[in-house]
Chains A and B, each alone.
Chain A
C-alpha cells in the first residue's frame, strides 16, 4: 500500500475538522477516517487541483452533516440502525427548516421576542462597550515591534520604585546579559522658541539606544549616534516627531539640518521619527512615549540629575528573546549587589525591579477595568436568567405543541435542536442590536471618562470587539436556551394530553424558574452593593478636604531656559520681578510661586535627617514630600499656619536656611516636642534647615494618599528653573489667566507659560476617574435592577395566571382579596428574601475586590448593604404587587367557568 504522504497542513486541517465529532466517536474511528481521507487526498491530488478543491468542499459538507447529528443523537442511540437514521436525514435541510420555524414562532409572539432581544441587547451592548476599552487598554499589544519584550527597569530601596542614575545605567548595560539593548529616557517639557509665541513641547532626554529599544525608525534623516548623547561628548542635536514636523514645519523636508532653539539652546534637527510613535497610540504616554522632541540625555536641565545615586532617569530595555522579566531582574540584581559594595554611600540597599512596559502602563487602570468587565458580565448573566425565564414560561404554553411533535416521532434531540435554534435566532438578533447599543454606549463612555484617564484615541468597535460580541451572543444563546430547551423537550405526554394542554408544568420546573429569579435578584444585589459603595466613595471624595482653599485659585507653569538664567541670583531676580508685576494685576488678591502645584501631577520627595538624632541606617531614612515656595504661598493657598511664621522676604539666599514643616512632619520628627527652632536636612541639600513654622497637612498627589510629612523651603534659598504660579483671584480665576501671563511676558517675552488651569479643574480631574467608574457601575446596577424587577414580575404574573382556577376556588370558599394578595406577595417576598441572603453573602465576598477604588468607605459598609437590600426589596415588592392585585380581582365564577 502507498505511504500516506499528504501535506502536513492538510492532515492538520482534517484533524481539526474531526474535532467536530464527539470524543467517543473520534476515539473509535477518528484515526481510520484520517487514513481514509489521506488516501482520498492522494488520489484527488494526482488528478488535479480543482479535484482537491471539490474534495475539501465535500469533506466540509460531510463533516457538517455527520458530526452535528452525531453529537446530538449520540446519547439516544437506538440499537437498530434504521431507527437512529429516521431523525437525522439531511442536517442542513433540518437547520434551515428549524430557522424558518423559529422565525415564524417568534413572529407570532412579537412581544416576547422584542422583550427578549432588548433585554439581551442591553447586556451584550454593555459588554461590547466595556470590552472595547479592555481590549484597547489591556489586551492590544503596544505599537512597537515585539513589544512584549520591552521592559522598564527601576531602582528600589525596599519601598516603591524609583528611576535610576546615568552611571548606574552604564553599569547595568555593560554588566548584564539579559538585554538586547537598554536606554534611558526622561520626559520633560521643553521650550521651543521661533514662532509667534514661545511654545512648550513634550520632550524626552534620551540615550541614543532608545530608538533601538522601542524599534523606532526615522522617516527622515537619522537618530542619535552614541557619542551625540553621551554626557562627555554630547552634541547640540535634536530628533523631532512626525507630529511636530507636520504641525509646525508643514512637513518640510528641509527641516533636516535646520537649527531650532530648544530650552534656549540652538540645536540642529537630524531626524524625524515616523508617525507610528505619535501620542495616543499606547494606552498611556509615559516615560518616553508621546514625545514631540528627543534631546540628548547629556542636556537634562538638572545638572546634578545624572550623578550617581540620583533617581532622575527612566530606564527602558528590550529583553533578549526567551528571557523572562524575572530572569532579567535576577541578572541585574547581581550587578546591583556589586554596586552596593562599590558605592555604599549612594547604593545602600539599592536593587532593581524589572517590569514589562505594558503591565506597568496599565497596572493603575487594570483593577477598575476588570471590575467594570465583571459588572457587565453580571448584567449579561441577569439578562440571560431573565430570558431563560421567559422561555420557560413560553415553553409551558407550548407543551401541547411539543408533546404533539414528540408523539409524531420527533426525538428529544430534535426538539432540543428546534428550541435551541429559536434561542440562537434571539441571541444573534440581540448580538446585532447589542453591537449598536455598544457603539452608542462607547460614545457615552468616552464623553464620561475624564481626559486624564487616557482612553486611547482610536477607541471603537473594531474587528476584535465584533468577534467578541458574536462569540458572546452565541454563548448567550446556549446559556439561556439550553436549560429551558432541555426541560421543555421532556414533556410528560400523558399529563399534557390529559390536561388538555393546560399543564402546570411540574414542581421541578417551577423550582427551576424560582431558582433563576433568586439568582438574578442575588446578582442584582451584588451590583447594587458595588454601585452603592462606589457612590459613597464619590460623595466622600466630593466632601474630602485637600487642606487648602480650592476656590478662585489659578495655576500655571513655566520654566526658565538654563541658557539665559545660569546663576541662582538671575533666577531669583526674575521670580521677584514677576511676583511684583503679578501682584499689581487688578483682580489678583494674592500670588505666590511654588515648584509643584498640588494635584497637578508634579511633586518632590526625598529622605531627611534630623539634627541631634542618630542617623538611621542608609536606605531606611524617613521620607517626606518636599516643595519649594515663595513668601505668601501659605496665605495664597489658604493653608493654616499652626505655629511660627511663613516665609518672608527676609529668607534670602544669604540668610539662615529655614524650613516650614507640616503638622505630620513635626509629629514624626519631634514627637511631643516643640518643633520651632529644631533643625533637619534634606538629602539633596547639605545645609541644616531651621524650622520657623508649622502648617496644616495638605493632600498633594491625590485624595487617596495617606497623610505624609511635608517640608517646605523658601524659593530664594533654592531657586530652580521650574516654577508654578498660584494666584488667588477676586473673581473667575480663568479670566485672570491672560493678564497674569502678560505680566510674566512683560519681564521676559520669550517665556512660555502652560498648563493654565484652575485649582477646581485639577481637583475635578483628580475626582474624575472615581466618578466615571461609579456612574458606570450605577448605570449597570440600574439596568440589573430593572431586569430583576421584570424577572420577579414575570414569575409572579405567571404564577397567578397558572393558579387562576385555584384562586377562584379559594375565593369561592370565602378567601378575601387581601388573603389572596398576601399569598402572592408573600411568595414574591420569600423568593426575594432568599435571594437577598445569597446576594449579601456574594457582595460581601466580592466587595473586597473594590477596595482599591473605595475612598472613605469600608468594603463591608453596613449602611450600603442595608440600603441596597432595601431598594431591592422595595422593587421586588412592587413587582409582585402588580400580579397580586390581578389575582385579587379574579372573579371566581369566571375562573371556574374556564374549565
Chain B
C-alpha cells in the first residue's frame, strides 16, 4: 500500500509514544489495551499509556500510514468490537530508522563517555 520510496527521514525523530507503539506492534497485531499492556510490560511498569494519548497517536500514525487496522480479523475468542492494529511496511521501516538513529545517538553518547566505560 505505502510507497517504499517514501523517505523515512521525514518522520524522524518520532515521539516517544509513537516509537513505543511501533515497538509494541513489532511482533504482531494487537488491540489498544494490549498495546498499553505490552508497553507497560516492556518498560517494567514505567510507561503507562492512557487511552487518550494512545488513540490520538494511533490515529495520527494511521493517517501517516505507519500502522493499519485489521478489520474483523481478531484472535480466536476475542471481543468482536475490538480493532487490531499492525505495522505497515512503512511503519516497520520508520521504526527501524528510528532505532538506528537512536543507536547512533547511543554510540555517540558512549564515545563521549556519557554512558560510563565504553
A810-850 CB mask vs B (1 if < 8 Å, else 0) is 00000000000000000000000000000000000000000
Known contacts A29-B59, A82-B14; decide if A1 and B53 are in contact (CB<8 Å). no
Known contacts A37-B51, A81-B64; decide if A31 and B15 are in contact (CB<8 Å). no
Distance A33 CA – B53 CA, assembled complex (angstroms): 10
Q: Is there an interface contact between A36 and B36, defined as CB atoms closer than 8 Å? A: yes
Q: Is there an interface contact between B59 and A32, defined as CB atoms closer than 8 Å? A: no
Query: Which partner residue on chain A sits nearest B64 by CB separation?
Result: A81
Q: Which of B15, B33, B58, B60 contacts A35 (CB 8 A)?
A: B33
Q: Is there an interface contact between A36 and B54, defined as CB atoms closer than 8 Å? A: yes
Query: Which partner residue on chain B sits nearest A88 by CB separation?
Result: B56
Query: Which partner residue on chain B sits nearest A20 by CB separation?
Result: B52
Q: Which residues of chain A in 32-77 are interfacial with respect to chain B, using CB atoms and an 8 Å cutoff? A: 32-33, 35-37, 39-40, 58-59, 61-63, 65-67, 70, 77
Q: Which of B15, B50, B82 contacts A81 (CB 8 A)?
A: B15
Q: Is there an interface contact between B13 and A82, defined as CB atoms closer than 8 Å? A: yes
Known contacts A35-B32, A82-B11; decide if A29 and B58 are in contact (CB<8 Å). yes
Minimum CB–CB distance from A71 to chain B (whole Å) comes to 11
**Is B66 interfacial (CB-CB < 8 Å)?**
yes
Q: Which residues of chain B in 60-118 are interfacial with respect to chain A, using CB atoms and an 8 Å cutoff? A: 60-61, 63-64, 66, 77-79, 81-83
Known contacts A77-B63, A84-B60; decide if A58 and B48 are in contact (CB<8 Å). yes
A270-293 CB mask vs B (1 if < 8 Å, else 0) is 000000000000000000000000
Distance A1 CA – B79 CA, assembled complex (angstroms): 7
The B interface, classified by DSSP as helix, strand, loop or mixed, is helix
Distance A36 CA – B32 CA, assembled complex (angstroms): 6
Q: Is there an interface contact between A81 and B61, defined as CB atoms closer than 8 Å? A: yes
Q: Is there an interface contact between A35 and B81, defined as CB atoms closer than 8 Å? A: yes
Distance A28 CA – B51 CA, assembled complex (angstroms): 13
Q: Is there an interface contact between B54 and A81, defined as CB atoms closer than 8 Å? A: no
- Residues of chain A lying within 8 A (CB to CB) of residue B53: 62, 65-66
Q: Which of A35, A61, A70, A81 contacts B66 (CB 8 A)?
A: A81
Q: Which of A62, A63, A67, A84 has the most CB of B within 10 A?
A: A62
Distance A1 CA – B37 CA, assembled complex (angstroms): 14
**Is A80 interfacial (CB-CB < 8 Å)?**
yes
Distance A28 CA – B57 CA, assembled complex (angstroms): 13
- Residues of chain A lying within 8 A (CB to CB) of residue B12: 82
Q: Is there an interface contact between B32 and A70, defined as CB atoms closer than 8 Å? A: no
- Residues of chain A lying within 8 A (CB to CB) of residue B48: 58
Q: Is there an interface contact between B64 and A79, defined as CB atoms closer than 8 Å? A: yes
Q: Is there an interface contact between B50 and A59, defined as CB atoms closer than 8 Å? A: yes
Minimum CB–CB distance from B2 to chain A (whole Å) comes to 13
Q: Is there an interface contact between A82 and B15, defined as CB atoms closer than 8 Å? A: yes
**Is A670 interfacial (CB-CB < 8 Å)?**
no
Q: Is there an interface contact between A80 and B10, defined as CB atoms closer than 8 Å? A: yes
Distance A110 CA – B57 CA, assembled complex (angstroms): 42
- Residues of chain B lying within 8 A (CB to CB) of residue A4: 79
Distance A21 CA – B78 CA, assembled complex (angstroms): 27
- Give the contact-size bracket for chain B: 20 to 34
Query: Which partner residue on chain B sits nearest A2 by CB separation?
Result: B79
Distance A61 CA – B83 CA, assembled complex (angstroms): 25
Q: Is there an interface contact between A62 and B55, defined as CB atoms closer than 8 Å? A: no
Distance A65 CA – B15 CA, assembled complex (angstroms): 16
Distance A40 CA – B52 CA, assembled complex (angstroms): 13
Query: Which partner residue on chain A sits nearest B54 by CB separation?
Result: A36
Known contacts A58-B50, A66-B52, A80-B64; decide if A40 and B33 are in contact (CB<8 Å). yes
Q: Is there an interface contact between A80 and B11, defined as CB atoms closer than 8 Å? A: yes
Q: Is there an interface contact between B32 and A28, defined as CB atoms closer than 8 Å? A: no
Q: Is there an interface contact between A62 and B33, defined as CB atoms closer than 8 Å? A: no
Known contacts A37-B51, A40-B33, A67-B52; decide if A32 and B82 are in contact (CB<8 Å). yes
A499-532 CB mask vs B (1 if < 8 Å, else 0) is 0000000000000000000000000000000000
- Residues of chain A lying within 8 A (CB to CB) of residue B57: 81
Q: Is there an interface contact between B77 and A62, defined as CB atoms closer than 8 Å? A: no
Q: Is there an interface contact between A32 and B55, defined as CB atoms closer than 8 Å? A: yes
**Is A115 interfacial (CB-CB < 8 Å)?**
no
Distance A62 CA – B13 CA, assembled complex (angstroms): 23
Minimum CB–CB distance from A73 to chain B (whole Å) comes to 10
Minimum CB–CB distance from A722 to chain B (whole Å) comes to 74
Q: Is there an interface contact between A36 and B66, defined as CB atoms closer than 8 Å? A: no
**Is A95 interfacial (CB-CB < 8 Å)?**
no
- Residues of chain B lying within 8 A (CB to CB) of residue A37: 51
Distance A317 CA – B14 CA, assembled complex (angstroms): 71
Q: Is there an interface contact between B36 and A40, defined as CB atoms closer than 8 Å? A: yes
Distance A77 CA – B56 CA, assembled complex (angstroms): 12
- Residues of chain B lying within 8 A (CB to CB) of residue A39: 33
Q: Which of B48, B56, B58, B66 has the most CB of A within 10 A?
A: B56
Distance A28 CA – B12 CA, assembled complex (angstroms): 26
Distance A709 CA – B31 CA, assembled complex (angstroms): 85
Q: Which of B15, B31, B59 contacts A85 (CB 8 A)?
A: B15
Query: Which partner residue on chain A sits nearest B48 by CB separation?
Result: A58
Q: Which residues of chain A in 68-111 are interfacial with respect to chain B, using CB atoms and an 8 Å cutoff? A: 70, 77, 79-82, 84-85
Distance A29 CA – B61 CA, assembled complex (angstroms): 13
- Residues of chain B lying within 8 A (CB to CB) of residue A79: 63-64
Distance A67 CA – B51 CA, assembled complex (angstroms): 11
Q: Is there an interface contact between B56 and A66, defined as CB atoms closer than 8 Å? A: yes
Known contacts A1-B79, A81-B18, A82-B11; decide if A62 and B51 are in contact (CB<8 Å). yes
Minimum CB–CB distance from A100 to chain B (whole Å) comes to 25
**Is A112 interfacial (CB-CB < 8 Å)?**
no
Q: Is there an interface contact between A35 and B61, defined as CB atoms closer than 8 Å? A: no
**Is A343 interfacial (CB-CB < 8 Å)?**
no
**Is A249 interfacial (CB-CB < 8 Å)?**
no
Distance A63 CA – B52 CA, assembled complex (angstroms): 6
- Residues of chain B lying within 8 A (CB to CB) of residue A28: 59
Distance A269 CA – B82 CA, assembled complex (angstroms): 73
Distance A35 CA – B36 CA, assembled complex (angstroms): 12
Q: Which of B18, B32, B50, B63 contacts A62 (CB 8 A)?
A: B50
Distance A1 CA – B76 CA, assembled complex (angstroms): 9
- Residues of chain A lying within 8 A (CB to CB) of residue B54: 36
- Residues of chain A lying within 8 A (CB to CB) of residue B78: 1
21 contacts between A and B (CB under 8 A): A1-B79, A4-B79, A25-B59, A29-B55, A32-B32, A32-B55, A33-B32, A33-B51, A33-B55, A36-B31, A36-B32, A40-B33, A40-B51, A61-B50, A62-B51, A66-B50, A66-B56, A70-B56, A77-B63, A80-B10, A82-B12
List chain A positions with a Cβ less than 8 A from chain B.
Answer: 1, 4, 21, 25, 28-29, 31-33, 35-37, 39-40, 58-59, 61-63, 65-67, 70, 77, 79-82, 84-85
Apart from A29-B55, A81-B57, what are 12 other A-B pairs with CB-CB below 8 Å? A25-B59, A32-B32, A35-B79, A36-B36, A39-B33, A62-B50, A65-B53, A79-B63, A80-B10, A80-B64, A81-B14, A84-B60
8 closest A-B pairs by CB: A62-B50, A66-B52, A33-B51, A62-B52, A81-B60, A29-B55, A36-B33, A39-B33
